Structure 1
């Protein structure tokens, strides 16, 4: 097997006690970094989509929680554990669907409650945030290898949204599989949906694949069915923002459509996500909260109005949809692969 060489992009970096985030709103035109030095600035960066992608959001939140503990200690040393809760709550409210956010904050809060009330929590909290980051990098590589092993030589693959280094701490989830399979010579062509309305496919996925020397063909979201019918695609490979206990998958709007088309045309459907994305407390996808965003994101493109400014012209703009487990062929995690996911097989994953 070939070593992974297509792995050069990083969305989050820790530099001089600062969380440095690549501003994904400005890609591919500009590479600008936003520096965060407290919990509030991290929460704003998450809410405003400077950083996005469930694993990356979780990592950013972990650093934000460390900032919250540090600042609470500096301002209220005698009650820092209580005072840090305000920062954690601000982080928790920044994006409601990505379960990695709540997972990271719970992990950081649990650690904080075990630390001595009379000692500076910053070193231990920062070390834990670094651990969250490093574990994601390692998990990406394990998922990449496990997912790539399922792809036969000469395959064409289609991906939706962005699931690479810009959405994680390292190689990526779905794009980590694609990068690994490309390096192994298993993939012949990569296709990417544009992913309206934020165009994560065209702005982000195409940008980072190009940066790593992997050719990609873009298509409008509505062209996926025709592409699958042509026989050019063997796998649809996507990430996830939350997976329920029965294997239902919440991911970027348009994923459900891609899964339906894949099933119709005999194309296999792979979801790649770390176990931190799986919410075993939710029985099924009906319980997953679906975030909605402003109508302007649909009524305009790149800041330019594309819909008429007229009474009665509005927009429905859910950020995610839920793909039922029966449309998913395989879920790839860092601890194992689930074929034909259902409540029983998902439970076995955690045994």
Structure 2
């Protein structure tokens, strides 16, 4: 990716995705904006376009803002800040997932553990290691994972296409399931803990994440299954009092009208296709960052 327009296109079509990865992309977008020349106003306008490419994911605008803070130091300072974000991402992900792994071990008596994953929050959603899947890597290294149930994550199948691949590469036993099977799996006692990432966390602990997370949380709460959210602290947006203030992106209707290239609905079918939903804090067992368990201010 060599231009701001190319980066924005890649973000919007989800070639670049995942909250931590978007944070790094946002900072690098400012580097690209600086290289395209023009005055300061033009640079900031290009940077703002990058920040707005995915409105729900706070890490994108966070990365842009962090890089813009270094503008007074020149292009080299902006690049250095972007590279620092890249370097620190793995450290933060490892720390957050290590904290979360200890919390999961404390919450769940059964050994080895049967985990459930939604969407993709591993290496492919971060610069390195992963957030929610990072917990799986920690637990797998300790021999504590029996298997992972992988929600396929319709409509774009991030679970089936990405998470399943990551688990296979790591040698972690897994099974892919339709999203609609998750509640039944919990009812049958097949899930000890649900692990998810986050795209934005409000000050009160409400969490915006991939569509379907809210339904998972309701089912998990009903069946007494812990649901643990893992994300870097940059995903926490204390400017928003609650999840009611989080803007929810809606995706193109074609994502639902087609499946693996085949049209599956009437061509003109109306579509409701939100990319994210908001899970209330009271349905979440723990939100975990590199600082440990998140506690709302006050």
TM bracket (short chain): over 0.9
Distance apart, 1:47 and its partner CA: 1.1
CA contact (8 A) 2:146 2:173 kept: no
**C-alpha distance in 1, partners of 2:35/2:78?**
8
Determine the structure 2 residue equivalent to 1:333: 289
Q: SS of the residue aligned with 1:198?
A: coil
Determine the structure 1 residue equivalent to 2:272: 316
Determine the structure 2 residue equivalent to 1:283: 241
CA offsets, 1:49-98, max 9 Å, x none?
111111111111111111112222xxx4xx3x333112202202211110
> 1:4-43 to 2 correspondence within 5 Å?
36-43=1-8
Greater RCO (CA < 8 Å, at least 6 residues apart): 2
CA contact (8 A) 2:197 2:230 kept: yes
For normalisation by structure 2, the TM-score amounts to 0.95
Q: SS of the residue aligned with 1:149?
A: helix
Distance apart, 1:45 and its partner CA: 0.9
> 1:157-236 to 2 correspondence within 5 Å?
157-236=115-194
For normalisation by structure 1, the TM-score amounts to 0.81
Distance apart, 1:38 and its partner CA: 2.3
**C-alpha distance in 1, partners of 2:9/2:75?**
21
Q: Report the count of equivalent residues.
A: 293
Q: SS of the residue aligned with 2:86?
A: helix
Unaligned runs of 5+ in 1: 1-35, 116-120, 339-344
User: Max radius of gyration: which structure?
Assistant: 1
User: Is residue 262 from structure 1 mapped to residue 262 from structure 2 by the alignment?
Assistant: no
Distance apart, 1:172 and its partner CA: 0.4
**C-alpha distance in 2, partners of 1:231/1:347?**
35
Unaligned runs of 5+ in 2: 106-110
User: Is residue 64 from structure 1 mapped to residue 14 from structure 2 by the alignment?
Assistant: no
Which of 62, 65, 68 in structure 2 is aligned with 1:109?
68
Structural RMSD (CA) = 1.3
User: Is residue 123 from structure 1 mapped to residue 76 from structure 2 by the alignment?
Assistant: yes
